[in-house]
Structure 1
């Protein structure tokens, strides 16, 4: 173990953090040089035990208690930091948690703070889309990290492939065919991201540390139009998907559907509506290319078609 560097991984039993922990524990290019400290709130749950069995040090920490974060970061060369807006749906709380992480990283002299970030959509849209809080709160933490001056890289996950089935892409009456309904045109572009690929991007971030300090890593396999998302579904499931169709829904009707069919409160439906409008009006990444990220990531990224065929969630939808 002597001479190895330590990466502290927050959210290590979740989708993003779990992928990061897994690649650092198993990748032949990383495993010889790195050890993993996996951070979770409950060190007794099965997922934490699996990490311990795989060779990780598992510790508890509370994002609201900076002293526990400092303990979790002691001796770490790198940290993967992620927060969960949707747990409390409180942007101010998420910003404070992120700032706690930044402050702890500064106090412990972390050499690379990798923050799971997103763009500030209120600023990008010049106020036209003011309610995409789960983007803006993460962007506020990124801005704080830059102001504090810690050595940081900003991982920017794309649109979760796993968020597509069951909500706006589902079986619909009268013939039970699959429909994909969004308040955009068929040409709107989605940067497709499989959360299981997170570790591949973070691997690139540490292997290209000097090049990526202060930079954003736009993390998606590819841009697909909404129409291409449906077409790939048809190809993956020729029988179940043969009649799959995209419907462009007026924005307010889309919001109403979310409230009535999904049972979402008004403010959540409004946030999701604006998140979808972003795709066409301003671009998820503001129109930026993925080429630079693809130059740096050496591992194969998961395509939408591959995700479809491997997804347990889609398996449930197809029953």
Structure 2
């Protein structure tokens, strides 16, 4: 029986590359893999091929439907992640939106005969909060997912929603936005995480893109009909910001603390469009009672999917467990000396 082909759009990004790495390890029901990129000769494309050498790399542009149809041709499944922060949307005269891009890609997948579509999206912040807080990135991605479902052209459409990336803590450029944590100490030497509160039970969903996201998506592809029409929460660990800094202290022996930005509107984003989305995320979560996904945050589903994917790779044991922040911090920052 020929292998089912899965095509990944956004393949050189953090999410897409994680998905390809996980799928490439499946040795019980292996998939054929294809990755789209705007430029096959780019450094990012070359790095991807080193990570997943048996992946077919094809050039395609999401704004060019014909190129997307060709890229999807013969694919049983597709994973799609559109970039809300793409530089094209920064152009003052640009009238096209992420929704326009998503519809082109969905229509191309339909024309190519894709059966299973998985889209990296969210529920609508505007709808969840009754119009109190809109967040364009969340709302546009929701519109794309709903459009895909409304076509009734796929055997399964699944939305996978990613939590707050563990990997954001590795960005030195981002540290000043969040009080300096975990790189720039305050005057008293402590590493301060300064952000608004989350809302509700302060159950902030965090996801290790490198360790877990690809496995979660992989697990869905093993039984797509089971997850049809649902939003799958891609969550590795659930912690309040107080517990995040406590985990960091435990893992590294370095002093850290959480300080609240009392009004989410006061979070300084320096005019950066992507950070404006983050600020609105806090407003949305506070208004919704912490419901980042529109429902209660949980990691049991992600754990189930991770386990399925790891078993498909012929593995078991601790490797099937979701990553946690304490272990993540311990791996990537100095550990205490005894």
TM-score range, shorter chain: 0.7 to 0.9
What pairs up with 1:229-240 in 2 under 5 angstroms?
229-238=244-253
Equivalent residue of 1:103, what SS?
Answer: helix
What is the Cα deviation at residue 158 of structure 1? 1.0
Distance of aligned partners of 1:142 and 1:253 in 2 relative to their CA distance in 1, 3 Å threshold? closer
Question: 158, 168, 176: which one pairs with 2:178?
Answer: 168
Correspondence 1:180-259 to 2 at 5 A:
180-184=193-197, 188-196=202-210, 197-238=212-253, 241-242=254-255, 244-251=256-263, 254-255=266-267, 257-259=268-270
Deviations 1:14-45 (A, max 9, x none): 10000111112223335xx3111111111012
Task: Answer yes or no: is 1:3 the counterpart of 2:12.
Answer: no
Structure 1 residues 34 and 253: CA distance shift in structure 2, 3 A: closer
- The alpha-carbon deviation at position 252 of structure 1 amounts to 5.9
Distance 1:125 1:233, change over 3 A: same
Are the equivalent residues in 2 in contact too, given 1:189–1:279 (CA < 8 A)? no
- The 8 Å contact of residues 6 and 33 in structure 2, kept in 1 or not, is answered as yes
Distance in 1, Cα, partners of 2:109 & 2:70: 10
Output one character per residue of 1:201-226: Cα deviation in whole Å (capped at 9) or x when no partner: 11111111121122221110132111
Pair 1:310-2:331 in alignment: yes
Distance 1:258 1:49, change over 3 A: closer
Give me the TM-score of the superposition, normalised by structure 2: 0.82
Deviates more, 1:166-175 or 1:18-27: 166-175
Greater shift, 38-47 or 65-74, is seen at 38-47
Q: Which runs of 5+ in 1 are unaligned?
A: none
CA shift for structure 1 position 51 = 3.9
What is the CA-CA distance between 1:47 and the residue it aligns to? 3.5
Determine if the alignment matches structure 1 residue 277 to structure 2 residue 256. Answer: no
Question: In 2, distance between residues paired with 1:162 and 1:254?
Answer: 24
Bigger shift: 170-179 or 200-209? 170-179
Contact 1:92 1:137 (8 Å CA) reproduced: no
Query: 1:88-132: per-residue Cα shift (whole Å, max 9, x none)?
Result: 3469521111111110111112110010111210111111112x2
> Residues 115-154 of structure 1: CA distance to partner in whole angstroms, max 9, x if unpaired?
0111210111111112x21111110101101111133111
279-288 vs 138-147, which moves further: 279-288
The answer as to whether partners of 1:38 and 1:51 remain within 8 angstroms in 2 is no
| CA drift at 1:13 | 1.3
Instruction: State how many pairs are aligned.
Output: 300
Indicate conservation of the 8 Å contact 1:12/1:18, yes or no: yes
Please report the TM-score for the alignment, with normalisation by the length of structure 1.
Answer: 0.86
Displacement of 1:157 after TM fit? Answer: 0.8
CA distance in 2, matches of 1:218, 1:280: 19
1:145-204: per-residue Cα shift (whole Å, max 9, x none)?
111113311111111122245131523432242101112179522101111122101111
Q: Distance in 2 between matches of 1:303 and 1:185?
A: 19
Structure 1 residue 9 displacement after superposition: 0.9
Partner of residue 24, structure 2 = 25
**Residue of structure 2 equivalent to 1:74:** 73
The Cα shift of 1:288 comes to 2.0
Which runs of no fewer than 5 residues in structure 2 stay unpaired?
Answer: 308-319
SS at match of 1:297: helix
C-alpha spacing 1:185/1:111, structure 2 compared with 1 (3 Å) = closer
Cα drift, residue 231 of structure 1: 0.6
| CA–CA separation in structure 2 for the residues paired with 1:68 and 1:191 | 36
Residues 51, 58 of structure 1: 8 Å contact kept: no
Distance 1:185 1:288 in 2: 13
Cα distance in structure 1, aligned partners of 2:203 and 2:23: 32
1:159 counterpart = 2:164: yes
Q: Distance in 1 between matches of 2:47 and 2:277?
A: 36
Check whether the contact 2:251–2:326 (CA below 8 A) recurs between aligned residues: yes
Encode CA deviations 1:49-85: one digit per residue, 9 max, x unaligned.
3444511110111011111100000000100101111
